[in-house]
Amino acid sequence: MNATGLKLAKSNYTRQHRRSGAVLVAVLTCTFVSMALITVAFSSSLSARRQCQWELQRQQAAYLIQAGKLRVAEQFQLDPSYGGEVWDVTSAFASYDLARIDIRPMPTTETTSRQYSIVAQLGYANAPERTVQITRMFLFPDRNHP
């Protein structure tokens, strides 16, 4: 091989290695960008899932409030001196270990009705930050007063 051929072979060899280095940088850049996008999408998906679970739990706690309200109406009609109760409904929920309705009479200035506080708790006994608690007050007319 003469000197010109050696020079030509060396320049082709150097050009190929520079190209393969550029391809490597491009591949690594694309991999990094795609991993960043996947991480953001996964994080966003988890956040949306948690939000949906929280909203479902809040809706179920609101249903517990309605059940408590119906319970007070029924019990108050049977016994005007109904003093409230703590109603454990955990067995109705497979995914929570705490489901409770706390019904308490509250003092009121009204003589023709009684006021009750209804507290619904739904969630996990060992994780209070993941437990929903809703409190509502209701007036129930006394059937003895027209």
Residues of 76-107 as b/e, b for ≥16 C-beta within 10 angstroms?
A: beeeeebebeebeeeeeeeebebbbbbbebee
d(CA 33, CA 40): 11
pLDDT value of position 113: 83
pLDDT-derived band at 87, boundaries 50, 70, 90: very high
pLDDT of amino acid 120: 96
Q: Would the pLDDT of 101 be above 90?
A: yes
- 75 vs 141, which has greater pLDDT? 75
Q: What's the start-to-end Cα distance of the chain, in Å?
A: 119
Amino acid at 41: A
Listed in sequence order, the residues at least 6 apart from 111 whose beta carbon sits closer than 8 Å to its beta carbon are: 142, 145
How do the domains of the chain map onto residue ranges? 3-141
Dist CA 124 CA 132 (whole Å)? 9
Strand spans (E) along the chain: 85-88, 98-106, 113-124, 127-141
pLDDT at 69 over 80: yes
What pLDDT does residue 1 have? 54
Model confidence over 24-66: pLDDT tens digits?
888 999 999 999 999 999 999 999 999 999 999 999 999 999 9
Give the C-alpha separation, 67 to 81, whole Å.
Answer: 20
Question: What is the pLDDT averaged over residues 78-107?
Answer: 91
Residue 139 has pLDDT above 80, yes or no: yes
* Measured CA distances, 23 to 12, 16, 92, 135 (Å): 16, 10, 60, 62
Whether the pLDDT of residue 12 is over 90: the answer is: no
Q: Which two tokens stand for residue 51?
A: 């939000």
Mean residue pLDDT across the chain: 86
Token pair of 36 as six digits: 């960043």
